[in-house]
Structure 1
Amino acid sequence: MKKLSRTFSLGVSLISLSCVISTVHAAEAFDPQSQWMFGDWNGKRSELQAKGYDFSFGYTGELATLLDSKNHSSHGTEYADQFALGAHLDLEKIAGWQDTEAQITVTERNGRSLSQTSDALTGHKSSVQEVWGRGQTWRLTDFWIKKKFLDQKLDVKVGRFGEGEDFNSFDCDFQNLALCGSQVGNWVGDQWYNWPVSQWAARVKYNLTPEVYAQVGAYEYNPENLERGKGFNLSTDGSHGAMIPAEVVWTPKLGAAKLPGEYRAGYYYSTAVAAVIGSITNQQDHHQGGWVVAKQQLTAHHGDASRGLSGFVNLTVHDTDTNQVSDMQNIGLVYKGLMDSRPQDEIAVGVARININDDVNDANIANNNVDVRGLQNEEYNAEIYYGIHATNWLTIRPNVQYIHQVGAYKNGENAWVGGIKFQTAF
């Protein structure tokens, strides 16, 4: 409770501070026009950037409270957060290594998730606080070097990082996990590790045209990387194979307004074995599946392409021999700058469907292990948020979420959750 009080107090203080500095002349360290809360360090920060050293210190906090549910009267509130400390190094400026850069990021997660503590959300397939998970601990999240060859057409990245940084990538502005980030990692999470977990990896990307590139990667599968005390584990002793994703990405700018879009299509295969669902002979197979991601700005606001309506769609499919989730889809709309008085605010709505593999039900029936809530089929997660651009270094997103058939049970709970997500760059 002390940690919850500390982190919640920090969130309230940041929100209050943003309100004050919007109306009162602020010191340089809290300039609302600065991209950093602590300012430019009397110009030293920009000077370091010009020399190739770009330091970052970010904070994400997420509050969630149960507003209403069909079968439960007890309402809970939880808070989870994450600190991320990083350094991006332009090694061409620093050491003269042409077209070479490196990244080091250390993260720490704290708090508790309402999806884990609320009776109304027991068995929740998604999470109402995406920042929670993978162990509330310190981790080495990025430790990689990247170099470009062949007139910058070929891009090679090696070191420690997660699949979702490059493959099946997606924005993480929503607070509900089923609408945030790489979705493959959410449903094949026993072997595909998204942020903040890292593993030894290599990724090769080739630009076929200025708008189209193809990439392939290999990521160590090592379950020890998930252990709470091994956030800085560099050993490969626990490796059991590799996750191999491949993807083609198209990044057009459409129409006279050059509205940006991003379209991804990919496939993954794991060389590590996984148990076959329902097998009574301990049969094993391999995870595999694919995805399609589409994001496109659809309109410009009165001719201003920095504002307007955008849409997105995520689709993933997974093998039904080894994976509990057979497929998932999400879809949504985001409007940036709806009001002239708030040109950098945004409003967004999204809906996600998580579909359970029929073999899971067959196995539970065979083992006489059917939940009192019935068989599992689909869980739906919906969210609407309003993103307040309080300053250039603080964004606050109050949101309302609705979860239908919690746990994907046909007779499962339906719940309403209120949340606040804020992101700060110190």
Structure 2
Amino acid sequence: MACEGAGAMRGRGWAAWVMAWALLCAGPAFAAETKMPPGLTGGWGGARGLLYELGVALQVRYVTELAYNARGGKGHALRQAGQLNVGLGLDMEKLAGLKGGTFQFTFTHRNGNNLNADMELGNLQLVQEVYGRGNVGRLTQLWYDQLFWDERVHLKLGRVTMGEDTADFPCDFQNLTFCGAQPGNIVGNYWFNWPVSQWGTRLRVDVAKVAYVQLAAYEVNPRNLEEAFYLGRFNGATGVMLPLELGWNPKFRGDLLEGLYKLGFWYDTSNAPDVFLRDVERAGRYGLYFVARQQLTHVLGAENTAQGLNVFARLTHADRNTSTQDGQYTVGLGYTGVFGRADDDVGFALGTTHSNGRYVHAQRLKQAQDPATVVPRTEYLGELYYSLHATEWLVLRPNLQYIRPGGDEDARNIVVLGLKGALTL
């Protein structure tokens, strides 16, 4: 899972960043918040609010995902996976007089089991997006972000996740297809999303009130996948990831209908083996992506500006020389304010992950020599969820997933019943 999707809020202030982190992008809202997010443990006798006013935000969040395969796989089973996030955000203007400065530390610990693997579902994308990268504690964020020139220039550096600023997208859905920065879903062997961090920097320049240009540079180092807690690796890098992103953040009908559109290209300087040709190494890996989110309607007089209908579309294409999966495409819609509940929302999405034909051909040739070789295909799926905001600190999100798996062309179609829960402490 990624705390990704806060891109529309970047540069809008301390309170906006704190709320974006605390919610872990759990809702379709675009607008910045201006209050300290509540938690199960309350205000600690006023200490929590006082620290916040002084510029110190303590962030504790637990996300859990249950998944049961009613159809597909070698049997039926219920599996749980979860993630604990503990964070510290510092407003450096309040604390040290550094206007526009923000420091963020985040520790994550994942736990649980993977239904995909345990029941041999044969799919490409996880049905529990919060699972992955080991049941270990990790340093996920340790960075400093500084605004310059009337907050038009944003510079971040430190230990970062690739998807928190680049191609970022919220994790409303439980299937990984619809969660986080899409490139990491198909080329996760070198694009590392949350919770894996790497050394990196991001420079964003706002060229207008509603547009920006962003260039980032991230270390590409397989050692970052090692299942251990560490501050950083200083050797083992294979190259540098260089993503370029253009963004447009329009608002219509008097700022009530906000959108976010991104077009990006990435290039990794690392060498990589060709997925079809034996003993051939390619110089560099690359791809492009597009992200669109738009609120279409608004409920007049509603306190929650996100109430109404919103839609999204995403596409990512990776080079066919080095990628076993070379494309992912999704569309979806959501409505906030259902059944008279201001914050409850419902969402539906369709998606596909495309297996690279060159890699499929290579696997068929291997299968001719070894019948046990698994041959992939393109994966198709849909997911429907209802999000119940039971309290200000508890969100429960039952969901239904239907999947034609792509990891094994002989695998049966899958039906998964899921439940995603998020608790802010």
Q: TM-score range by the shorter chain?
A: 0.7 to 0.9
Tell me which stretches of 4 or more aligned residues in structure 1 moved more than 4 Å: 369-375
SS in 1 for 2:195: coil
Q: Would the aligned equivalents of 1:285 and 1:321 in 2 still touch at CA under 8 Å?
A: no
Distance 1:360 1:370, change over 3 A: farther
What is the aligned partner in structure 2 of residue 323 from structure 1?
323
Instruction: Report the Cα offset of residue 366 of structure 1.
Output: 3.1
Matched, 1:95 2:96: yes
Q: What is the deviation of 1:300?
A: 1.4
Taking structure 1 as reference, are residues 208 and 34 closer, same or farther at Cα in structure 2, changes over 3 Å only? closer
Distance in 2 (alpha carbons) for counterparts of 1:319 and 1:301? 43
In structure 1, the residue matched to 2:138 is: 139
The amino acid across from 1:113 in the alignment is: N
* Shift in Å, 1:380: 1.0
Q: Residue in 2 aligned with 1:37?
A: 40
Distance 2:420 2:343 in 1: 17
What is the SS of the residue equivalent to 1:339? helix
Q: Distance in 2 between matches of 1:224 and 1:369?
A: 33
Partner secondary structure for residue 213 of structure 1: strand
Distance in 2 (alpha carbons) for counterparts of 1:422 and 1:238: 37
Distance verdict in 2 for CA 1:41–1:311, change over 3 Å? same
State the partner residue of 1:12.
none
Over 3 Å counting, the alpha-carbon distance change for 1:371 and 1:337 in structure 2 is: farther
Partner of 1:68: 71
In structure 2, the CA distance between the partners of 1:373 and 1:273, relative to structure 1 (3 Å rule), is closer
Task: Report the counterpart of residue 241 of structure 2 in structure 1.
Answer: 243
CA distance in 1, matches of 2:114, 2:68: 10
- Does 1:261 find its partner at 2:259? yes
**Superposition pairs for residues 5-44 of structure 1, below 5 Å?**
35-44=38-47
Distance 1:373 1:365, change over 3 A: closer
Deviations along 1:372-420, whole A, 9 cap, x unmatched?
79853310121101000000111000111111134262x4310101010
State how far apart, in whole Å, the 1-side matches of 2:296 and 2:203 are. Answer: 31
CA contact (8 A) 2:355 2:406 kept: no
Structure 1 residue 281 and structure 2 residue 279: aligned? Answer: yes
Instruction: Please list the CA deviations of residues 230-276 of structure 1 after superposition, one character each: whole Å capped at 9, or x if unmatched.
Output: x3142321111111111011111113462011101000000111111
Partner of 1:413: 412
Identity across aligned pairs (percent)?
36
Name the CA distance, whole Å, in 2 between partners of 1:281 and 1:400. Answer: 43
**Which of 50, 53, 59 is equivalent to 2:53?**
50
Matched to 2:97, the amino acid is G
* Structure label with greater radius of gyration: 1
User: What SS does the corresponding residue of 1:407 show, helix, strand or coil?
Assistant: coil
Structure 2 match to 1:307:
307
Alpha-carbon spacing, 1:363–1:259, altered in 2? closer, same or farther (3 Å): same
Query: Which residue does 1:348 correspond to in 2?
Result: 347
Number of residue equivalences: 387
Supply the distance in 1 between the matched residues of 2:170 and 2:240 (Cα, whole angstroms).
25
In the other structure, the counterpart of 1:293 is 291
| RMSD between superposed Cα atoms in Å | 1.8
Shift in alpha-carbon separation, 1:369–1:243, aligned structure 2, 3 A = farther
Deviation digits for residues 152-206 of structure 1, max 9, x if unmatched? 1111000001110000000101100001111101111111110000010010000
Corresponding position of 1:363: 362
Would you say the 8 A contact 1:220–1:242 is kept in 2?
yes
Kindly state the Cα deviation for residue 284 of structure 1 after the two structures are TM-superposed: 2.5
- Partners of 1:74 and 1:404 lie apart in 2 by 17
1:81 matched to which residue of 2?
Answer: 82
* Whole-angstrom distance in 2 between the partners of 1:197 and 1:73: 31
- In 1, the alpha carbon distance for the partners of 2:269 and 2:151 equals 31
Paired residue secondary structure (2:359): helix
Output the CA distance in 2 between the equivalents of 1:321 and 1:332: 30
Tell me how far apart the structure 2 counterparts of residues 424 and 364 of structure 1 sit (CA, whole Å).
43
Q: How far apart, in 2, do the equivalents of 1:145 and 1:73 lie?
A: 47
Q: Bigger shift: 203-212 or 33-42?
A: 33-42
Could you tell me how far 1:222 is from its partner in structure 2?
1.1
CA distance 1:54–1:318, shift in 2 (3 Å) = same
Are 2:185 and 1:182 aligned? no
Q: In the alignment, what sits opposite 2:336?
A: 336
TM-score by length of 2: 0.88
Q: Distance in 1 between matches of 2:58 and 2:388?
A: 25
Query: 1:303 and 1:372 mapped to 2: Cα distance?
Result: 61
What SS does structure 2 have at the residue aligned with 1:171? coil
> Does the aligned pair in 2 maintain the 1:400–1:417 contact within 8 Å?
yes
| TM-score after normalising by structure 1 | 0.87
Distance 1:151 1:338, change over 3 A: same
Q: How big is each residue's C-alpha offset from its partner over 1:312-371, in whole Å with a ceiling of 9 and x where there is no partner?
A: 00100010000011211011111100222x221111111110011110122123333686
CA distance in 2, matches of 1:215, 1:203: 7
Q: Which runs of 5+ in 2 are unaligned?
A: 1-35
C-alpha distance in structure 1 between counterparts of 2:373 and 2:253, whole Å? 50
Q: 2:194 is aligned with what amino acid?
A: W
Q: Tell me what 2:105 maps to.
A: 104
Does the CA-based 8 Å contact 2:390-2:396 persist in structure 1? Answer: yes
Bigger Cα displacement from structure 2, 254-263 vs 348-357? 254-263
* 1:306 Cα offset (Å): 3.2
